[in-house]
Amino acid sequence: MSNQVAEQVSKSPLINNSKVKKGSNISISKYISYLFLVILCVIWIVPVVFGITTSFRSQTEVVSSGFRLFPKEWIFENYVTILENTSTAPILRWLVNSLYIASVHTFLVVVVISITGYGYSRMNFKGRDTLFFTLMGISFFPGVVNLIPSYKIIDSLGWVNSAWAMIIPGLAGMGNIFLVRQFMRGIPKDLDESAHVDGAGHFRIYWSIIMPLVRPVLIVCALFSFTGSWNDFLWPVIVFTDVDKMPVTAGLLLLQDIYGNYRMIGQLMGSAILAIIPTLVIFLFAQKYFTQSINLNSGIKG
């Protein structure tokens, strides 16, 4: 195939001045790439900047001055108002709820996936792989089917309007366990065998030999669990009706009624921005883990 290409090109009359041509091609494609990327970045970042700056503008300015990216006058009253609202839209309460739910969920995810992953990769018992792949197979079934009964189960456990409704069900998933198991299988067996000889039990080996080695995967899983739990929308909208108990994503759904149909725009934007900040801060500090995660994925798939 490449011979054909070469043949075609060598017949081309342009081949002699290809040097000149090629140089200008590279710079043209470079500028096109740049233009494309810069335009996208502007479109992508304008909403975030606009949301932030609007949260510092007064209602009269927003309404009278039309679309502007930056305020004429920066004010902080919007934030004072939303933080002082503790009844109809208790944003601080919602943020604390979200933080509690996402943190406890993330901690338990790490515990469950590392212990379970250890069991499926470093222990030998009858039917281990059959069991694992059976569970994997079942988990591929579309989740929409178990949505309604899940609510019924949560209700029977008395967890409607409780943080547990968001903390526990997600621990049953198989995706992260698959990832951790895959990673643990890559660790040489002699490590735990020599520890076994020295008299160490499984828990000891799990904790002091395997855990330190799989830390990177666990960090990645933890970050995605945290942001996933923080941003979850459908499930909290279903299991929370109590305004004081709900996480911030479900709370924001109520805001348009509370702050009117854009009667209090600064407050609306301020609330949205407060809900965004935690995941953005995490991304800022752990960016490399977010982008690394895919190397783990592609390692498996490729």
Out of 83, 171, 187, 258, the only residue in the binding site for other proteins (CB under 8 A) is 171
Residues numbered 91-130 forming contacts with other proteins, rule: CB under 8 A:
112, 115-116, 118-120, 123, 125, 128
Measured between alpha carbons, how far is 250 from 240 in angstroms, rounded to an integer? 8
Site for other proteins in 173-192 (CB under 8 A): 173-174, 177
Taking CB under 8 A as the binding criterion, the range among 75-83, 85-93, 166-174, 212-220 that sits at the site for other proteins is: 166-174
Question: Which string of x and - marks every residue 274-293 that binds other proteins (by CB under 8 A)?
Answer: -xx--xx-xx---x--xx-x
Residue 148: CB partners within 8 Å, gap ≥ 6? Answer: none
Nearer of residues 150 and 191 to other proteins, judged by Cβ? 150
Segment holding 207, helix H or strand E: none
Residues ≥6 apart with Cβ < 8 Å to 234: 147
295 residue type, one letter: N
Residues in 47-66 at the binding interface with other proteins, rule: CB under 8 A:
47-48, 50-51, 54, 62-63, 66
Annotate each residue in 1-30 with x if it binds other proteins (CB under 8 A) or - if it does not, as one string: xxx-xx-xxx---------------xx-xx
Sign, Cα dihedral of 231, 233, 238, 242: positive
Alpha-carbon gap, residue 3 to 11, rounded angstroms: 12
CA pair distance 240, 110, nearest whole angstrom: 25
- 204 lies in the site for other proteins, by CB under 8 A: no
Considering CB under 8 A, how many residues would be counted as binding other proteins?
106
Instruction: Tell how far CA 229 is from the center of its chain.
Output: 8
For the CB of residue 258, give the shortest distance to other proteins in the complex, in Å: 12
Give the torsion sign (CA, 100, 103, 105, 111).
negative
| Residues 236-275: x where in contact with other proteins by CB under 8 A, - otherwise, as a string | -xx---------xxx-xx-xx-----x--x--xx-xxx-x
Amino acid letter for position 170: G
Q: Output 173 or 191, the one with its CB closest to other proteins.
A: 173
* Closer residue to other proteins in complex, CB, 37/80: 37
Eight-class DSSP state of 210: I
Show the tokens assigned to 134: 């059976």
